[in-house]
């Protein structure tokens, strides 16, 4: 076992983690960043990113994250391809145990562990995961070329998944439990203008059915949320796009969280209930959940960590450069 110590320890390699690393490194704090099981975070499972400032043309999510990593390393971040499996926030320095067996300690800690896709919670989902059921059209859409697929959800993700799938599938049915989307208007306009996509309003998926051996999804059992009527929909694939859960299981009992498991931060700051521990990005934000807001709070986390260290006499404060 090797111990790696830093003044600023950052967990997560999404926009929040890398931005925190860039600011902490440029403040001469020589941060350590532990990347986790999804290096680059959620943007690595999408294609076009059109709303991250600084790029007139659409850029690719994975490319953007490669650039953030390169920038963070260029200014002095120490990058570790490890996943934290246990934390101790009572001890000082804070300590985090990696899957590799290595120990990471930090005088301050910035948690930027983001969020992950939510599933419907049906027993039959497990049977068809990877056999017709997916939560990532970018990853699995190719397998449904000229086939009929459905998407569940009513937010930006669901509408984007449906639009992406319409480029390859013969037919896309978007199933939503209400009669109104929460997706942005511009995305809705594109959706309604696409002849390959139809919307089933007020419907929930109650069961996935198909062949057992090898598993192959064939149909969805639906229920109308207004009338209670049951129906079936023949599909080759189902994409679940119903939101995300924050990756906060590690910190349960050690940090204040809200009812949905998001880390609570003091308004206008990234300060958590434990002094010296900061939280940035989707792990503490269920309202905006954007790359640019994650990056913004990552910046805040690093600046606050710097000020905390200066206040506690551990390092001379270096202003944001």
**Binding residues for ligand FAD, per CB under 6 A?**
11-17, 34-39, 41-43, 45-46, 49, 51-52, 83-84, 112-115, 157, 247, 250, 281-283, 289-292, 294
From ligand NAP, ligand FAD, none, which one binds at residue 76 (CB under 5 to 8 Å depending on kind)? Answer: none
**DSSP of 197-227, one letter per residue?**
EEEE-SEEEEEEEEETTTTEEEEEEEEETTT
Give the long-range contacts of residues 316-320, CB within 8 A, separation 24 or more: 317/27, 318/27, 318/28, 318/29, 319/27, 320/23, 320/26, 320/27
Least distance from ligand FAD to the Cβ atom of residue 35, Å: 6
Binding mask 215-244 for ligand NAP (x = CB under 6 A): --------------------------xxxx
- Rounded to 10 degrees, the C-alpha dihedral 7/12/14/15 comes to -30
Residue 284 CA to residue 304 CA, distance in Å, equals 16
Q: Which of 139, 179, 189, 258 is catalytic?
A: 139
**In the complex, minimum distance from the CB of residue 163 to ligand FAD, in angstroms, rounded to a whole number:** 12
Contact (Cβ atoms closer than 8 angstroms) between residue 55 and residue 29: no
Q: Is residue 162 a contact partner of residue 174, using CB atoms and an 8 Å limit?
A: yes
CA distance linking residue 1 with residue 210, whole number of Å: 47
Q: How many residues bind ligand NAP (CB under 6 A)?
A: 20
304 binds ligand NAP (CB under 6 A): no
SS3 3: strand
The contact pattern for ligand NAP, residues 39-78, with x = CB under 6 A and - = no contact, is: ------------x---------------------------
Phi, then psi, of 255 in degrees rounded to 5: -135, 150
In the list ligand FAD, ligand NAP, none, the entry touching 194 (Cβ below 5 to 8 angstroms by class) is none
- 285 as an active site residue: the answer is no
Query: What six digits make up the tokens of 155?
Result: 């937010």
- Whether 99 is a known active-site residue: answer no
**Mode of pairing for the β-strands spanning 59-60 and 48-49:** antiparallel
From the list 88, 99, 102, 136, the catalytic residue is 136
7-15, 128-136, 146-154, 264-272 -> range binding ligand NAP (CB under 6 A): 146-154
Q: State yes or no: is 96 an active-site residue.
A: no
* Active site amino acids: 136, 139-140
Residues that bind ligand NAP (CB under 6 A): 51, 120, 152-158, 160, 177-178, 182, 204, 241-244, 289-290
């Amino acid at each position: 076992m090797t111990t790696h110590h830093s003044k600023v320890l950052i967990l997560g390699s999404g926009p929040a983690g890398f931005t925190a690393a860039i600011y902490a490194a440029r403040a001469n704090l020589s941060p350590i960043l532990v990347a986790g099981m999804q290096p680059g975070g959620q943007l690595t499972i999408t294609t076009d990113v059109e709303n991250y400032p600084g790029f007139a043309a659409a850029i690719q999510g994975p490319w953007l994250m490669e650039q953030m990593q390169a920038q963070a390393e260029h200014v002095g971040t120490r990058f570790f391809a490890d996943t934290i499996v246990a934390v101790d926030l009572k001890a000082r320095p804070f300590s985090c145990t990696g899957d590799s067996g290595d120990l990471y300690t930090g005088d301050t800690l910035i948690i930027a562990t983001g969020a992950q896709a939510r599933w419907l919670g049906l027993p039959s989902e497990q049977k068809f995961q990877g056999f017709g059921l997916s939560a990532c059209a970018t990853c699995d859409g190719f397998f449904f070329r000229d086939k009929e697929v459905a998407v569940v959800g009513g937010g930006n993700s669901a509408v984007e998944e449906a639009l992406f799938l319409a480029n390859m599938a013969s037919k896309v049915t978007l199933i939503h439990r209400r009669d109104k989307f929460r997706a942005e208007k511009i995305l809705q306009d594109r959706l309604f203008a696409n002849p390959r996509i139809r919307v089933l309003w007020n419907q929930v998926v109650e069961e996935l059915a198909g062949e057992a051996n090898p598993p192959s999804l064939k149909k969805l059992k639906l229920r109308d949320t207004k009338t209670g009527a049951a129906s079936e929909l023949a599909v080759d694939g189902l994409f679940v796009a119903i939101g995300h859960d924050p990756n906060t299981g590690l910190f349960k009992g050690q940090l204040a969280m809200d009812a949905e498991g998001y880390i609570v931060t003091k308004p206008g700051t990234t300060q958590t209930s434990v002094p010296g521990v900061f939280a940035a990005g989707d792990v503490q934000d269920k309202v905006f959940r954007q790359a640019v807001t994650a990056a913004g709070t990552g910046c805040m986390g690093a600046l606050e960590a710097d000020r905390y260290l200066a206040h506690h006499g551990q390092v001379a404060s270096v202003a944001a450069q």
